[in-house]
Structure 1
């Protein structure tokens, strides 16, 4: 095979105005790409869980305050809008999902490699810069992976798919604190920092290898034309012909994502501080293990929430779970010892499905605006750069337990979206239209396109359009077949 043929076969550019078979992928066809992309969810779950552990580790080894250590979260999540509204969004709209996956993994690996000299020189500021690069990589991955999982397969099960995929994100957040409890907190300062270097070197090697895998394999590319078709077929696309600035449900979902994510990050980021301050005989190593247990409750909640969504409308599950977050974080402000910690455990359990469900519900009915809209919703993760520093300031002045008042306020703000999507017909009817649709459950129903797509093995870019009056296929190439 010549280089030109190889490059053409593995091209990353996709025409966004073309309908492809990806609009009506069946469960079987979507299985391979979903499994591959789910690996990315574990990666950023691990990175996020590692960040929460390093938050306390650097307080101990570098002697910095809680508010200053929140610079890690500010750098990490502050990068998300730059990716989701900037470079990653541009690549997604001009190339496709696979290109963004590769770009995000490259940035992730680059930041991990650059973190090593910063750790060697005990430079907290330098490490924050590296975390900012990693955040750009993970922000790019989230900009593509969250909407991809949502739209890859039958729309009826999109909330279930994204919550199951995000459950592996939760598994990553469990693994990282456990690792941290054994390699960061039980050694002296120099050995612990050396261990951090090895961890980031291993991360870099793995993500570069994974980027190569994404370049070599073919996965279905879902275009804006495909999403416009789904919105039209479900009768939920009445707003897709409106200009982007009038997608008000999307902007409300973005606001909710900002508030919710900020609260979630603040609770996890100061969890170890909370238990070491409020629970007797608890050091940082034990606190890290408790954090792993809380993240396990988070992961279990995602699997459980996804299972419930098979029987109950996802918007109701979302509304109940977010309400419970408010109910259980409030007592953590005044309670101490095991009771206070248990309140945080239960809060993390109910946090589980909120982020992915906001993504899925917020993208409903966007049609041709889907890719651009997904960047806005993921950009809401910027709340993780705002709320933790506010929580850190409150913790430095009044203690970490009292500081839980800050995420409580942001949970309440996010709750406005849960109320709207359940009780306002304009929100509710659009969400329900996708929940009841039959698209993708029995394969293509409208004869719109055909191709070599089979179980995720094709790109979906070589398509033919059916002329239903003549019963022929127009514009076919050698890889398509007659209907």
Structure 2
């Protein structure tokens, strides 16, 4: 094979979404390598998010801005998400596939990281926000592809377990970020220029690593999952779910609202954790508070590993309900507590937050069939709640000069997210869709030949299939 042929075989461009492939019935063993690569991406954006939380307080100190303005970082980061998930990244995903979006997102992430250098040279908070927006665009693109890919790459029965396990490495990244930030950003110095230079060097290293990882993805074989593959999976587990026009999938939009409010609350809590610790526990330094944040993110990671293990034996929807209910309870308690008790409430809040985001993602896109990629874009777009809630919290904290009281804001948003957890457990239409996939045998050892035969029959009978779903093709 010549060089041109080799490069063409690795390009992965232009995916035929009307073709059923073997990716529809991948086993755990067959999906191991691509899932390993994608899991690295989860660590990356967890690390970026963890750094963002420490930068919030760091820029308050070095650039002398108030709490409300510092939330511009979160607004820039998460404000980029819907542009990616509902716009360019989703378009690329539907036309060119998952692999292309992975590479595209990594390149954007790398460019954004390098843009931190000139922002630091000019000591420009606006420049940092611009670079953060580019980073958010890259990570939003990665999430647009990575979250749905994890749920479909392998047996559908274990989709929640896969995404929660991978997201646990995302949580590890959120631990490493604040730890690095506590040592790199919060050293005892009055030299603001030197403090900003440390930010530049950290992001330069990130940019170089990300470009190297993009190269690895380019030369790796990543199985593509087409729209027809998803229609096949739904046909094996649901009755006429794929016949619905996209805009009638109301369960998806409820999940998107839940994702919006949950993510907004989660980001606000982490973004102002250091402010909360230093204000409610007098004598606590910024560096110490950053270490507390890292510890809370560690509890978050433990919660995800534990939650993914529990889901092997207990239905994911029940685990989700218990975790999110506890999140609301402990977050509400943190509003009135101070010192050790307040920090303990936030530790417990982050522990129980752990499974919520990936489980909303996995449950929200069940039953979408050929609308899977578009639907996942809406769920990832819900992450833009992280651009909305932190500024509200920051504004309330500035008005009352009390970050602890301001935590009532994420509590209210978290209650809205909780309504989806209730619905998937007690509303029959929600429960039916969720549980049918949970009983699927697609991709399990021993059922491979049967699934492949069914997939081939689906492909060979495409003319009848297309006629049956003509309305869907027109709507799409």
TM-score by length of 2: 0.93
**Retained in 2: the 8 A contact 1:50–1:180?**
yes
Aligned to 2:332: 330
- Choose between structure 1 and 2: higher helix proportion: 2
| Cα distance in 1, alignment partners of residues 40 and 457 from structure 2 | 32
* Counterparts of 1:466 and 1:374, CA distance in 2: 24
The equivalent of 2:378 in structure 1 is: 376
Match of 1:481 in 2: none
Tell me, yes or no, if the aligned pair for 1:139 and 1:378 is still in contact at 8 Å: yes
Quote the residue 2:74 is aligned against: 73
Check if 1:438 corresponds to 2:441. Answer: yes
Q: Which residue of 1 aligns with 2:472?
A: none
Alignment-derived partner of residue 392 in structure 2 = 390
Q: Give the Cα–Cα distance (whole angstroms) in 2 for the partners of residues 466 and 281 of structure 1.
A: 67
User: Residues 245-290 of structure 1, C-alpha deviation per residue, up to 9 Å, x if partnerless?
Assistant: 1111111100000000000000000000000000122010000000
Match of 1:197 in 2: 200
Structure 2 CA distance, aligned partners of 1:174 and 1:298?
9
Kept in 1: contact 2:74–2:386 (CA 8 A): yes
Counterpart contact for 1:447–1:466, Cα < 8 Å: no
Q: Which residue of 2 aligns with 1:137?
A: 138
Give the 3-state SS of the residue equivalent to 1:222 in structure 2: coil
- Measure the CA separation in 1 of the matches of 2:352 and 2:397: 23
Q: Is the 1:24–1:444 contact (alpha carbons within 8 Å) kept by the matching residues of 2?
A: no
Task: Check the 8 A contact 1:19/1:449 in 2, yes or no.
Answer: no
Partner secondary structure for residue 28 of structure 1:
coil
Q: Deviations over 1:122-159 (max 9, x none)?
A: 10001101100000000000000000001100000000
The 1-side partners of 2:452 and 2:306 are apart by 37
Q: How does 1:3-402 map onto structure 2 within 5 Å?
A: 3-12=3-12, 13-188=14-189, 189-235=192-238, 238-398=240-400, 399-402=402-405
How many Å separate the matches in 2 of 1:104 and 1:219? Answer: 15
Match of 2:471 in 1: none
Cα distance between partner residues in 2 of 1:467 and 1:54: 55
| Contact 1:261 1:384 (C-alpha < 8 Å) held by counterparts | yes
Give the drift of 1:187: 4.2
- Number of residue pairs the alignment of both structures matches: 455
Q: Distance in 2 between matches of 1:146 and 1:210?
A: 18
Q: List per-residue Cα deviations over 1:216-249 (Å, max 9, x = no partner).
A: 11111111111111111012x5332111111111
Q: 1:444 to 1:388 in 2, by over 3 A?
A: farther
CA offsets 1:420-446 (integer angstroms, 9 cap, x no match)? 100011000110011111110022414
Q: Pick from 407, 411, 416: which aligns with 1:408? A: 411
Alpha-carbon separation, structure 2, partners of 1:56 and 1:243: 46
Equivalent residues of 2:62, 2:195 under 8 A apart:
no
| TM-score normalised to structure 1 length | 0.92
Map Cα deviations across residues 428-483 of structure 1 (whole Å, 9 max, x no partner): 01100111111100224144489xxxxxxxxxxxx998869xxxxxxxxxxxxxxx
Cα distance between partner residues in 2 of 1:227 and 1:203: 35
Q: What secondary structure sits across from 2:11 in the alignment?
A: coil
Cα distance in 2 for partners of 1:150, 1:446 equals 18
Gaps of 5+ in 2: 462-476
Q: Distance in 1 between matches of 2:94 and 2:222?
A: 17
Change (3 A) 1:273 1:281: same
Distance 1:187 1:10 in 2: 49
Contact 2:109 2:135 in 1 (8 A): yes
State the alpha-carbon separation in 1 of the partners of residues 280 and 458 from structure 2.
Answer: 65
- SS of 2:90's equivalent in the other structure is helix
Gaps of 5+ in 1: 451-462, 469-483
Q: What is the CA–CA distance in structure 2 between the aligned matches of 1:241 and 1:172, rounded to whole Å?
A: 40
Q: Distance in 1 between matches of 2:409 and 2:451?
A: 51
Cα distance, 1:8 vs structure 2:
2.4
- How much has 1:4 moved relative to structure 2? 3.5
CA contact (8 A) 1:10 1:215 kept: yes
**Secondary structure at 2:231 match in 1:** helix
Give the CA deviation at 1:333: 0.6
Structure 1 residue 11: deviation in Å? Answer: 2.6
Cα 1:64–1:5 change in 2 (3 A) is same
Aligned residue among 419, 422, 427 for 1:424: 427
